[in-house]
Amino acid sequence: MIKEFFKELKRLLDEVAFSVGWFIMIISIIPMLIVHGTNVFFGDIVEASVVVGMSEFPKLMPGDLIFILKTKNLEVGDIGCYIIPSDKCSLNPYVAGKGDRICHDVVNKEVTKRVTYYEFKGYANKIKDPCKIPDDFVVGKIVFKIPFIGIGVIPFQIFFKVLIHLMMGGYI
Q: Is residue 87 part of a domain?
A: yes
Residue range of the domain that includes 6? 1-151
Establish if 90 belongs to a structural domain: yes
Query: Do you find a cis peptide bond into 85, omega within 30 degrees of 0?
Result: no
Q: What is the pLDDT of residues 76-111, one digit of tens each?
A: 999 999 999 987 888 776 677 788 899 999 999 999
Is the pLDDT at 165 greater than 80, yes or no?
A: no
Predicted local distance difference test score (pLDDT) of residue 58: 93
Residue 77 zone, left/alpha/beta (φ > 0; ψ -120 to 50; rest): left
**What is the domain-level CATH number for residue 91?**
2.10.109.10
In a domain, 168, yes or no: no
Q: Does the residue 27 lie in any domain?
A: yes
Instruction: Indicate whether 139 belongs to any domain.
Output: yes
Q: Residue 172: which pLDDT band, with cuts at 50, 70 and 90?
A: low
DSSP string, 82-123: EE--SGGG-S-TTTS-TT-EEEEEEEEEEE-SS-EEEEEE-T
CB 138 within 8 A of CB 117: no
Looking at residue 140, its pLDDT comes to 95
- Give the pLDDT band (50/70/90) at residue 150: confident
Asked whether residue 118 carries a pLDDT value surpassing 60, the answer given is yes
CB 97 within 8 A of CB 83: no
| 97 contacts: CB under 8 Å, gap ≥ 6 | 84, 87, 90
- On whether residue 56 sits in a domain, the answer given is yes
Q: Does the pLDDT of residue 168 top 60, yes or no?
A: yes
pTM for the whole structure = 0.76
The domain tally of the chain equals 1
pLDDT tier for residue 133 given thresholds of 50, 70 and 90: very high
> How high is the pLDDT of residue 90?
81
Q: Is residue 159 part of a domain?
A: no
pLDDT digits (tens, 9 = 90+) for 2-60: 778 777 767 776 776 667 666 766 666 777 777 777 777 777 788 888 898 899 999 99
Q: Is 171 a member of any domain?
A: no
Higher pLDDT, 49 or 171: 49
pLDDT at 121 over 90: yes
Using the Cα atoms of residue 11, residue 17, residue 21 and residue 23 in order, give the sign of their dihedral: positive
pLDDT score of 13: 66
pLDDT for 82: 96
